[in-house]
Amino acid sequence: MTKLSVAIVGAGMGGLATAAALHRSGIGVDVYEQASKFTRLGAGIQIGCNAMKVLRGLGLEGLMRASAFYPRSWNNREYDTGEVRFDMIFGEQAEARYGAPYLLGHRGDLHSALASAVPNELIHLDHRVVGIDERPDRGVTLRFANGKSIEADAVVAADGVHSFVKQQLFGQDEPNFTGRIAYRTVFPAALLNGYEIGDCTKWWGPDRHIVIYYVKPDRSEVYFVTSQPEPGFTVESWSAMGDVNELRKGFYDFHPEVRHVLAACPSVHKWALIDRNPQSHWSKGNITLLGDACHPMTPYMAQGAAMAIEDAAVLSRCLQGVDRDGVAGAFRRFEATRKERTSRVQLNSRTNTWLKERTDPDWVYGYDAWNEPLATREAA
């Protein structure tokens, strides 16, 4: 059997995790990314125990433990009185229960760790996909804005919420703008001037919230992300700036700990929050979607990247021992294995109730993408 060749569109969290997983299992893989270089975005990311199990299988646990913060808990408090609603204990207790740690990291550190698991020569920057065709005898052709084109046995489109490939396969549809925006930033904890804050706290207000946590093991950097109404703002860009005074005004009646953090932060980014309904199909022939391309969600469960990372492990298992003729079936099996779970997380996330009250989170953090049963071939 000749080695299967897989082309991945997009070198975000999902694309890189998939490339790492396929490369480790001996499948030929190349990643095509539109950006001309990787930039370190000023954002934090919660890495659930379920995602950490996948990262362990990719050999990245040590790197992540060394670069990320290990919180005692994710505490949920009233926005003004600070009364504790539900303190979700992580640390060693959750690690023992779920078999992997819950970490809080810098998005750039997670991205670099994933990139380190993929040989450089397999990542092709400055390759924006502008055309895709599948021919039964030749596999799939990708055409790029730089004039080049390639052929592969299979394509995995991890090209994010505005997926070009999704549009080509299933037609154009608009994402759901929630009418809400997020302000977010990472800044040096030294700017807090010794003021002590919780490890990770979500402050729940009547129509808005803010999540604040450390992203470095030595507590040297702090991150926060908000959600608040602002219908009409539809810019979704990791680089769009917000007005820090507007932000402070919006949280004027929050607890002093929140106000101290907002007073200390030098600048913020602003981002429109969007999602989509669960998508009825993810694949056509030898082309599949993965990650935000097929299940974008609001960030309220902190599970979007985790779902993309889980997808990577399951997809690599489905493609094991498969040749070009078996790819379409393997992609249907991948979708059949994953869709119920990702749809549940998508819809739950939308309600913004995760951990607000005492919650049993086992179904989220207990999942092990390397060992969960795959859908039967018949179901696919």
Of 169, 156, 183, nearest in space to 330 by CA: 156
Q: Token pair for residue 31?
A: 């990643």
Pick between residue 13 and residue 150 the one whose CB is nearest to ligand FAD.
Answer: 13
Q: Within positions 15 to 44, which residues make up the interface with ligand FAD, using CB under 6 A?
A: 15, 32-35
98 is catalytic: no
In the list 7, 13, 328, 336, the residue contacting ligand FAD (rule: CB under 6 A) is 13
Question: Does residue number 111 form part of the binding site for ligand FAD (CB under 6 A)?
Answer: no
Identify whether the C-beta of residue 319 lies closer than 8 Å to the C-beta of residue 327: yes
Pick between residue 225 and residue 328 the one whose CB is nearest to ligand FAD.
Answer: 225
Binding segment for ligand FAD (CB under 6 A), chosen from 116-124, 152-160, 339-347, 358-366, is 152-160
Question: Does residue number 75 form part of the binding site for ligand FAD (CB under 6 A)?
Answer: no
Pick between residue 107 and residue 255 the one whose CB is nearest to ligand FAD.
Answer: 107
User: Least distance to ligand FAD from the beta carbon of 2, Å?
Assistant: 26
Question: Does residue number 242 form part of the binding site for ligand FAD (CB under 6 A)?
Answer: no
Identify whether the C-beta of residue 41 lies closer than 8 Å to the C-beta of residue 138: no
Q: Within positions 276 to 295, which residues make up the interface with ligand FAD, using CB under 6 A?
A: 291-293
Alpha-carbon torsion (44, 46, 51, 56), positive or negative: positive
Q: Token pair for residue 88?
A: 């979700």
Identify whether the C-beta of residue 157 lies closer than 8 Å to the C-beta of residue 296: no
Q: What is d(CA 198, CA 201) in angstroms, rounded to the nearest whole number?
A: 6
Interacting residues of 220 by C-beta distance below 8 A, sequence separation 6+: 188, 189, 190
Q: Determine which one of 32, 102, 213, 365 is catalytic.
A: 213
Pick between residue 15 and residue 42 the one whose CB is nearest to ligand FAD.
Answer: 15
Residues found in the chain: 380
Pick between residue 80 and residue 177 the one whose CB is nearest to ligand FAD.
Answer: 177
Alpha-carbon torsion (249, 252, 255, 260), positive or negative: positive
Cα separations in angstroms, 283 against 171, 287, 311, 347: 13, 6, 13, 21
Q: How many residues bind ligand FAD (CB under 6 A)?
A: 33
In the list 42, 71, 160, 205, the residue contacting ligand FAD (rule: CB under 6 A) is 160
Cα separations in angstroms, 210 against 151, 172, 205, 272: 46, 33, 8, 15
DSSP β-ladder status, 176-188 and 268-275: antiparallel
Pick between residue 46 and residue 75 the one whose CB is nearest to ligand FAD.
Answer: 46
User: Least distance to ligand FAD from the beta carbon of 16, Å?
Assistant: 8
Q: Name the 3-class secondary structure at 375.
A: coil
In the list 90, 187, 214, 271, the residue contacting ligand FAD (rule: CB under 6 A) is 271
Question: Does residue number 305 form part of the binding site for ligand FAD (CB under 6 A)?
Answer: yes
Binding site for ligand FAD (CB under 6 A): 9-15, 32-35, 45-46, 128-129, 158-160, 164, 182, 184, 225, 271, 291-293, 299, 302-306, 308
Annotated catalytic sites, by residue?
A: 213
